[in-house]
Structure 1
C-alpha cells in the first residue's frame, strides 16, 4: 500500500473529524480544526492512500492526520490519530517521521507532545523515535486521565 503525506485542506475536515471521533473520548470540534488551518505556526497533515479504504464504510482515502505547532525552536505535536481500521500499518509512524523531519529542517531543538498515560501503544511508538517521558500532568484529560509529557531533543 502506497501512503503519501500532504497538507490538509478544509475539504479534508469531515474525514479528519470522523477519525478524531473514532479515536478519542473528547474529540476536537470542527471549529478547532478550522482554527488550526488558519494559524501561521500550525500545520495539519494527512496520510492518504488511494488504494486503501477503511472498512467502516468510509469513502475517504485519509488514513490519519497530525496537527503540530512550530514556534521558535520547538515543534509541539497537538494531535495525531489514525483511523481504527488503518492502525498497525505504519501510518502513525509516517506522520511522526514527517513532523520530526520538518522540525529538524526548521532547526527546532526539540519536539514535544502529551500522551495519555493509559495509551501504551502511542507511548511505545514515540519511544521508538527517541522520545523520552519527562513529566506527568495530573488529570490533564479529565479526572483520572493523566498526561505524560514526552520530548525528543536534537543534538
Structure 2
C-alpha cells in the first residue's frame, strides 16, 4: 500500500472553501459548486461537511446539507480527485459521511447522481442507496439526475448494527 491509501478525514473550515471549489471544478466542470455557492451554503451547513486529505493537500470532500425536513440529509457534492481515485478514498469518505450525517440526527440521506455515472451509482448502491426518483433536466436540458436515497432510521451505528459498513466509519475529529 502506498501513502495514498490512508487519507485523513476532518471537518471543514471556511479557509478550505477554495480547495473544495477547485476540486469541484476538476470533478464536475460546469456543474460544479462554485466558491460563491460554497460561501452561501457553508454557514448553515458547514458543520456537516467533510474533507479527505493527506500531506500533499485536499483530495476529497463531502458537502452536505439538511433538507427542509430536518431528518433528511443531502450529499450536495462529493468528489475524490482523479489522482486519488480507485484507492478506497471514496468508500472511506462515503462511509464517514453516512456516519457523520447519522450523528447529526439524519434518518434519510439523498444524493443526485448522473444516470450514466456507473462508478458512482455502484459505490452508492454498495452502501445501500436505492434509486428513488429522477430529476429531469436538473442542470439544464439533457442533464438529468437520479435521486439515490439511503434510509438510516432503525439503524444503530453506535451499537454496530445496521446495513453495510456504515457502522464502521472512522472517527472524524471536530474542527
Tell me, yes or no, whether TM beats 0.5.
Answer: yes
Question: Which residue of 81, 104, 122 corresponds with 2:79?
Answer: 81
Decide which structure has greater helix share. Answer: 2
* Counterpart secondary structure, 2:29: coil
* Counterpart secondary structure, 1:93: helix
Mark the runs of 5 or more structure 2 residues left unpaired by the alignment.
155-175
After superposition, the Cα gap between the structure-2 partners of 1:73 and 1:8, relative to the gap in structure 1 and judged at 3 Å, is same
Q: Work out the CA distance in 1 between the residues paired with 2:62 and 2:46.
A: 14
Task: Verify the 8 A CA contact 2:45 2:66 in the aligned structure 1.
Answer: no
Q: Work out the CA distance in 1 between the residues paired with 2:61 and 2:9.
A: 9
Tell me the TM-score normalized by structure 2: 0.76
Q: Which residue is equivalent to 1:11?
A: 15
Q: For the aligned residues, what is the CA RMSD?
A: 1.7
Relative contact order higher in (CA < 8 Å, ≥ 6 apart): 2
User: Number of residue pairs matched?
Assistant: 146
CA shift, 1:19, in A, is 1.0
Q: Does 1:22 align with 2:26?
A: yes
Mark the runs of 5 or more structure 1 residues left unpaired by the alignment.
54-60
Q: Work out the CA distance in 1 between the residues paired with 2:132 and 2:44.
A: 28
Aligned pairs (5 A) from 1:122-133: 122-133=120-131
Task: Verify the 8 A CA contact 2:48 2:100 in the aligned structure 1.
Answer: no
Q: Work out the CA distance in 1 between the residues paired with 2:130 and 2:92.
A: 19
Decide which structure has greater strand share. Answer: 1
